[in-house]
Chains A and B, each alone.
Chain A
Amino acid sequence: MSEDSRQGMTALLLKNLPPHLAEWLQGLPDLPGYSDPLAEERLFPDPCSSKVSGLLEDWKSYVQPELAELFRNSREVVRQDVSRLTGNPQEGFSLSIPKAHFDAWIGTLNQCRLTLGAIHQFGEKDLEADLPQNPDSEREDALLQIHFFGYLQELLIKGSD
């Protein structure tokens, strides 16, 4: 993957993506893990202890469904953008992310990273360890995705400012 270039701050262009990175990006909107109970617990954590009267019940009834819709809408924006991925396995793939979509991407990348983190129970030590060079398990693959998507998030956050 070549260094990203910004087209006059109107978009983030990713070029020469190898097939497995393109595949990861295409998988962002529909990660099976989003419906995993561990992921749901992290994406929709309780906002308070049970001692705070009234909030918990109202939160689950009214706020949580709104959050779920917000997260779905972000993923839909990403879905539309990744559907425009171009290229081939030999020459690599390219993707342009319009600046207007940066927030949706930042949100979706976070959903994915947190989902993978929750399912595989990654802690600080896992994230600080050396990256697996030849991932041979789902867990190692997930860790690499978390790092790659984190890098992409950093680029988008910088571009948002």
Chain B
Amino acid sequence: MSTELKDLPSVSETTELSGAWNIIVHNDPINLMSYVTLVFRRVFGYSTERAKKHMLEVHHRGRSVVWTGEREKAELYLQQLHSHLLLATLEKVDP
């Protein structure tokens, strides 16, 4: 019998994927406010009120953290936002 040790991911790699992640939408003056609101409702299932709140935050403050959660789901949402041509990025939540 022989055994083989497989390479295990380093601690930094595993912690990189774990934990909470923010999706941030950044302002773009070209995107219509009504459009941004529609996208938030469709992608996240937010109420009109909540979608507008985030849209106005993007508009007035330049950015809004629109969702927080696990990385895999965050990446899916990110793709959807990019498919709607919103400026969206992913960042790890500071512990």
Contact = CB atoms under 8 A, between A and B. Distances in A.
B78 interface: yes
Interface string A45-83: 111110011010000000100110010000000000000
Contacts of B75: 55
Nearest to A118: B30
Nearest to A45: B87
Interface in B22-52: 28-32, 34-35, 38
Interface string B1-33: 000000000000100100000000000111110
A160 B38 contact: yes
B91 A48 contact: yes
B79 A63 contact: yes
B32 A111 contact: no
B32 A49 contact: no
A141 interface: no
A38 to B, nearest CB: 13
B28 A150 contact: no
A146 interface: yes
29 contacts: A45-B87, A46-B89, A47-B90, A48-B89, A48-B91, A52-B90, A63-B79, A67-B79, A67-B82, A107-B84, A110-B35, A110-B84, A110-B85, A111-B85, A114-B31, A117-B28, A117-B29, A117-B30, A122-B29, A124-B29, A146-B30, A150-B32, A153-B32, A154-B32, A154-B34, A157-B32, A157-B38, A158-B34, A161-B38
Interface of B: 13, 16, 28-32, 34-35, 38, 75, 78-79, 82-85, 87-92
